[in-house]
């Protein structure tokens, strides 16, 4: 072969003096073939290094064993972890993964979905989606196999695997409150995205439950990226009554907050308590020690494809799986709770 293996099962058949169907049977482990015939064919196949053409098989079976993965940006380590979880499970189940990054742009979403549909993917894992996403809703309506991971839409008629973002945000905000902070700001992703919205809600609810005013000027929204953290922190820390604590909607945002803080010469946690969300490698670095919320994105990804493939392979049972994973608070140093525990107790008692 020069690059296309030009041998076909008919060639093998001719050489083995059988019909091509028999060869096909051998290759598919069909029991209806005599042992010695099977051996003769297999020997030839091995000797010649014959590989059946996947394109032909795909066509005949109407199947590609390909899964489309849609993320916001594969460069973001969060999606890297997710992708790896998906990849491992998919390979284990005999599927390959094709991916694309939408950057949250509607037109990219649209065209990538079409591109992947063109390729003939058997199903989709969407890890990027706004709360309202026509391209996805369209597929759901057509009952095309798909699952959302770390995302939800407004509607509920599809399968998803998400973390309990609301609770994660609530818990970490509460942790700040319990540590004695009152002036707590949030730098978050957009609220037209599930995670952004839920984290904002969790934050707001935690404040309300502890009789702390939700100040609009303590809410900064952008995307989940580092630049947003930098801008948000720069803005917030210029205020006359600047916050004592910042809850970043993602560790990546927190990274940007660190950028700003170092520039301003402030210390964490002494001058500002900072917490994040995701528990990325960055957060666990000993120089950073960011208190955050653990996501288990690898697990989410794995669960997601598993559900998807299940659906692809037994689509008659078309019911929907909704998985909500528990969030877990990961307490390190950046929240300053170890410094302020005593004050916290007092405050909690009075609240």
Partner DNA sequence: AAGATTTATGTTACCGGTAACATAAGGCCA
Partner DNA sequence: TGGCCTTATGTTACCGGTAACATAAATCTT
Question: Binding string to DNA for residues 59 to 88, with x set by CB under 7 A, is what?
Answer: xxxx--------------------------
314 or 350: whose CB is closer to DNA?
314
Q: Which of 53, 110, 310, 333 binds DNA (CB under 7 A)?
A: 53
* 34 counts as binding DNA under rule CB under 7 A: yes
Question: Residue 43: which of a copy of itself, DNA, none does it interact with, CB under 5 to 8 A by kind?
Answer: none
Is there binding between residue 52 and DNA (CB under 7 A)? yes
Take residue 302 and report the two structure tokens written for it.
């794995």
**Shorter beta-carbon distance to DNA: residue 9 or 305:** 9
Q: Which does 28 bind (CB under 5 to 8 A by kind): DNA, a copy of itself, none?
A: DNA
Using an 8 Å Cβ cutoff, are 196 and 224 in contact?
Answer: yes
* Residue from 7, 45, 70, 116 in contact with a copy of itself (CB under 8 A): 116
Residues between 124 and 163 with contacts to a copy of itself, criterion CB under 8 A? 142-145
Q: Is 29 in the site for a copy of itself (CB under 8 A)?
A: no
* Smallest separation, CB 125 to DNA (Å): 25
- Our finding on whether 117 is near a copy of itself (CB under 8 A) is yes
Judged by beta carbon, residue 22 or residue 159, the one nearer DNA is 22
Least Å distance, CB 98 to a copy of itself, is: 5
Distances (CA, A) of 165 to 33, 38, 169, 334: 55, 55, 6, 20
Selected binder of a copy of itself within 35, 287, 314, 317 (CB under 8 A):
287
Binding-residue pattern over the window 179 to 218 for a copy of itself, x denoting contact by CB under 8 A: ----------------------------------------
Nearer to DNA, 20 or 84 (CB): 20
Binding-site ranges for DNA (CB under 7 A) = 4, 6-10, 13, 17-22, 24-25, 27-28, 31-34, 37-38, 52-53, 55-57, 59-62
């Amino acid at each position: 072969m020069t690059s296309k293996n030009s041998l076909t099962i008919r060639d093998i058949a001719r050489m083995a003096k059988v019909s091509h169907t028999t060869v096909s049977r051998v290759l598919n482990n069909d029991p209806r073939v005599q042992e010695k015939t099977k051996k003769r064919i297999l020997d030839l196949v091995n000797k010649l290094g014959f590989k059946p053409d996947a394109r032909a098989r795909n066509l005949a079976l109407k199947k590609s064993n390909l899964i489309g993965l849609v993320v916001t940006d594969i460069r973001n380590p969060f999606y890297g972890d997710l992708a790896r979880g998906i990849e491992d499970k998919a390979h284990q189940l005999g599927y390959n993964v094709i991916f694309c990054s939408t950057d949250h742009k509607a037109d990219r979403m649209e065209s990538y979905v079409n591109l992947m549909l063109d390729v003939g993917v058997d199903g989709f894992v969407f890890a990027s989606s706004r709360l309202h996403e026509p391209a996805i809703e369209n597929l759901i309506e057509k009952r095309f196999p798909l699952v959302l991971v770390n995302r939800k839409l407004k509607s509920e008629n599809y399968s998803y695997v998400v973390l309990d973002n609301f609770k994660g945000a609530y818990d970490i905000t509460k942790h700040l409150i319990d540590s004695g902070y009152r002036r707590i700001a949030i730098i978050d992703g957009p609220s037209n995205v599930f995670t952004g919205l839920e984290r904002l809600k969790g934050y707001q609810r935690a404040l309300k439950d502890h009789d702390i005013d939700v100040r609009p000027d303590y809410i900064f929204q952008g995307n989940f990226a580092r630049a947003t953290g930098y801008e948000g922190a720069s803005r917030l820390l210029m205020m006359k009554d600047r916050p004592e604590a910042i809850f970043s909607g993602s560790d990546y945002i927190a990274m940007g907050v660190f950028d700003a803080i170092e520039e301003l010469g402030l210390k964490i946690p002494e001058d500002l308590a900072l917490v994040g969300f995701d528990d990325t490698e960055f957060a666990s670095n000993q120089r950073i020690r960011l208190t955050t919320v653990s996501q288990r994105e690898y697990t989410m990804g794995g669960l997601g494809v598993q559900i998807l493939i299940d659906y692809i392979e037994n689509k008659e049972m078309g019911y929907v799986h909704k998985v909500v994973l528990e969030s877990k608070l990961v307490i390190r140093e950046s929240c300053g709770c170890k410094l302020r525990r005593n004050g916290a107790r007092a405050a909690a008692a009075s609240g």
